[in-house]
Structure 1
Amino acid sequence: VEFPETRPLARRDAGLLKWTRYDPDVLAAWVAEHDLGVPPEVTRRLRDLVDENAYGYHGADNELGGAFSRWATSRHGWTPEPELVVPTSNVLQGIWACVEAFTQPGDGLVYTTPVYPPFLDAPPTTGRRAVDWPMMYDEQGWSYDIDALQALLEADAGISLLLLCSPHNPTGRLFEHHELVRVVDLAHEHDLLIVSDEIHSDIIYPGSTHVPTLTIPGAAARTVTVTSGVKTFALGGLRCAVAVAGDDHLQARLREIPAHLLGGANRMGCEATITAWENGGSWVDSLLALLDGHRRHLVGRLHSELPRIGVHLPDSTFLAWLDLGSFSPNENAARWLRERTGVACGNGPAFGPGGRNHVRMTFGTTATLLDKMVDRMVAGLIDR
């Protein structure tokens, strides 16, 4: 598989948000979307649909459950029942639907910070309470404090939902099997629903393993997994995701959300996603090999040329979580970096507690462009 070096420029010409939010001379690394294209089968399928004027009402979402089940089996050794897969327009809609279906106003929602910024919006927009479960950090990197989660649950009987980001965005941390076993045990002990966002689960590097939450014994009665192909296959503009209920009871509860509020996936999104899941295995293998080299190259260059930037090798995702604390940036660390280097990253404080002085950098781009980004960072920060 070839990943053309010209792809990012083509994405700017196509008007994609990643490459048009800032001035043309700014290099974009701010959004969790890679620049490396889609499997050729997806392009062919979408072209066929356009040629057929296939823009009308559709039933393609009926095929999503089976396609996802086969994909999860081949990539993760997990075979969800297709009948328990509920199509949604995107992962966030699935999360909000779970909040509405399984919690009440005033209930506590737990999430790990720093975390994907929309998670922070779930409590205030639904009348629920935010309960912060901070990640731990030491010289080995980021980790989960399961004892702290237990203490939170014991202290607050009003917590009803745990929102996991697994793999974790922005740190790239993966849950280990024994950690998820404890989380599921706590869910049973404290009458807790787990909503597991596994949208980055296909981007796992050698030596690491993604453990789907629903493979843990006892998880089925307490878990809804939400995921999509948009990160793996760069399909963010095509609205398609799935919510996978652990059992019939949870699916029935989720289906109590009025269909017009629950939404659904559009025709192009369904067709692109199904085609990618059915045909994209070898393409993803090539993508992972490329991204594995990128993450090692990026972290190696930063350690060597900008050792004041704190960074650990992520186990998953195409995201690097950079600590700029030694430079004392202002509250908007991303703007501070962009003004000095012309590289646009995600702003750490937007990820909640633990994000101060940090930026999130997307390295899912071409090797040439990644080096240009690091070159700019070195030139702009080396003497500061």
Structure 2
Amino acid sequence: MDTPLAEPISSALIAAVGRGDTGYALAGRLPEAFAGFAARHYGWNPEPSAARLVPDVMSGIVEILRIISEPGDRVVVNTPGYPPFFYWIERIGRQVVPSPLAAGPDGPRLDLDRLERDFAAGARAYLLCNPHNPTGLVLTREELAQVAALADRHDVRVVVDEILAPLTYPGHRHVPFPSLDSPAAARSVALVSASKAWNIAGLKAALAVPGPDARAEVAAIHEEVSEGAGLFGVLASEAAFTHGRPWLQEVIAGLDENRRSLAAQLADRLPGIAYHLPQAGYVAWLDCRALGWGADPAQIFLRHGRVGLSSGTRFGPPGQGFVRLNFATAPDRLTEAVHRMAIARDRVGDHPRSRDL
């Protein structure tokens, strides 16, 4: 995000440097800080002593999957999906089972029928991303309860990436999966971090937070993994969860304006692009298929409009014809991005000849 660092975070880091506190990282008070944040904002009271420090959410996911599954096991992932999910699941010898989201009138929705078929086909684990990247979908409590029921029925372990939860927009509510009342939730593990919401991804700190019946698996995360976290990441995250809410509210308000401004500008300048407001996060998942530009319109926008967007093809086959746009920037820069996209559209047109692409 193009935003200054939150003052409580910068103060914590400056103070640490001033006292020469630049050594190795321990979890410190971070688990308690997150537990307090979760209680205040989600009504969830995770046990701080059960959480385990990890460098980032992705490394935590990898370690938990190593612990709860065996090489060759099937791991279900919703598509379109965050590209590192596919790479790392395969890197540790597990099989990715793509489970496409369904199209709904208000944007993508979880396809529970498809999910059950994928679970029933022999899945060992389900890597759930909620809020979802790249679509910004936030699952309701009822949807999560249905997921839990399916996981119980088919003996599937649920691992949840909840990194975008603090960036949930008004009108929607994040429900931590381990907070549900079900055996699947009790056996689940949530990966949480302040990194995305407070713009501190480079400082390296996240937590693996287990349900009551998954504490042994989280405790089994190797010490060398936890030691990959950074002290500044721990201190910054503690400050974010404890004192960073006012700053975050201002950021969410600005992001809310940007996501709505983007919708208005696209409707005016690029009506051929379909866009549903994300319910969380700061990226827009744009459906460009009506332009007739093939699988990778991001390349055309870059070549003809000089605007860089993430290619939807990186997010799995359902991403063909889509692009992902980061709107966490200044309003004038967002307007410039849409302007350049419109230039590309004017230069290439609808259903262009192959030589124009």
Structure 1 SS opposite 2:319: coil
Equivalences for 1:15-34 in 2 at 5 Å?
Answer: 34=1
Aligned to 1:170: 134
Aligned to 2:355: none
Aligned-pair CA distance for 1:222: 2.1
Aligned to 2:85: 119
Structure 2 SS opposite 1:382: helix
Aligned to 1:65: 31
Aligned to 1:49: 16
Partner Cα separation in structure 2 for residue 282 and residue 56 of structure 1: 30
Partner Cα separation in structure 1 for residue 248 and residue 115 of structure 2: 35
Aligned-pair CA distance for 1:264: 4.2
Aligned-pair CA distance for 1:180: 0.7
Size of the aligned set, in residue pairs, is: 347
Aligned to 1:201: 165
Alignment partner of 2:196 out of 223, 231, 234: 231
Aligned-pair CA distance for 1:263: 4.0
Amino acid across the alignment from 1:349: T
Amino acid across the alignment from 1:342: R
Equivalences for 1:261-276 in 2 at 5 Å?
Answer: 261-276=225-240
Q: Is the 8 A contact 2:208 2:218 kept in 1?
A: no
Task: Give the aligned CA root-mean-square deviation in angstroms.
Answer: 1.5
Aligned to 1:76: 42
Percent pairwise identity: 33
Amino acid across the alignment from 2:306: G
Partner Cα separation in structure 2 for residue 220 and residue 309 of structure 1: 38
| TM-score, scaled to structure 1 | 0.87
Aligned-pair CA distance for 1:86: 0.8
| TM-score, scaled to structure 2 | 0.93
Partner Cα separation in structure 2 for residue 276 and residue 269 of structure 1: 10
Q: Is the 8 A contact 2:102 2:108 kept in 1?
A: yes
Residue 35 of structure 1 pairs with residue 9 of structure 2: no
Q: Is the 8 A contact 1:306 1:382 kept in 2?
A: no
Equivalences for 1:157-306 in 2 at 5 Å?
Answer: 157=122, 159-218=123-182, 219-247=184-212, 249-306=213-270
Aligned to 1:136: 102
Deviations 1:144-189 (A, max 9, x none): 11111112222x23x1100001001111111111111111111112
**Does the C-alpha gap of structure 1 residues 202 and 257 become closer, same or farther in structure 2, counting only changes over 3 Å?**
closer
Equivalences for 1:347-358 in 2 at 5 Å?
Answer: 347-358=311-322
Aligned to 1:85: 51
Deviating more after overlay: 302-311 vs 372-381: 372-381
Aligned-pair CA distance for 1:300: 1.2
Alignment partner of 1:314 out of 249, 274, 278: 278
Residue 101 of structure 1 pairs with residue 67 of structure 2: yes
**Does the C-alpha gap of structure 1 residues 215 and 221 become closer, same or farther in structure 2, counting only changes over 3 Å?**
closer
Aligned-pair CA distance for 1:330: 4.7
Aligned-pair CA distance for 1:52: 2.5
Structure 1 SS opposite 2:31: helix
**Does the C-alpha gap of structure 1 residues 75 and 38 become closer, same or farther in structure 2, counting only changes over 3 Å?**
farther
Partner Cα separation in structure 2 for residue 56 and residue 150 of structure 1: 47
Stretches of structure 2 lacking an aligned partner (at least 5 in a row): 350-357
Aligned-pair CA distance for 1:58: 4.3
Q: Is the 8 A contact 1:93 1:262 kept in 2?
A: no
Structure 2 SS opposite 1:344: coil
Q: Which has the higher contact order (CA 8 A, sep 6+)?
A: 1
Alignment partner of 1:147 out of 88, 113, 132: 113
Partner Cα separation in structure 1 for residue 142 and residue 261 of structure 2: 31
Structure 2 SS opposite 1:343: coil
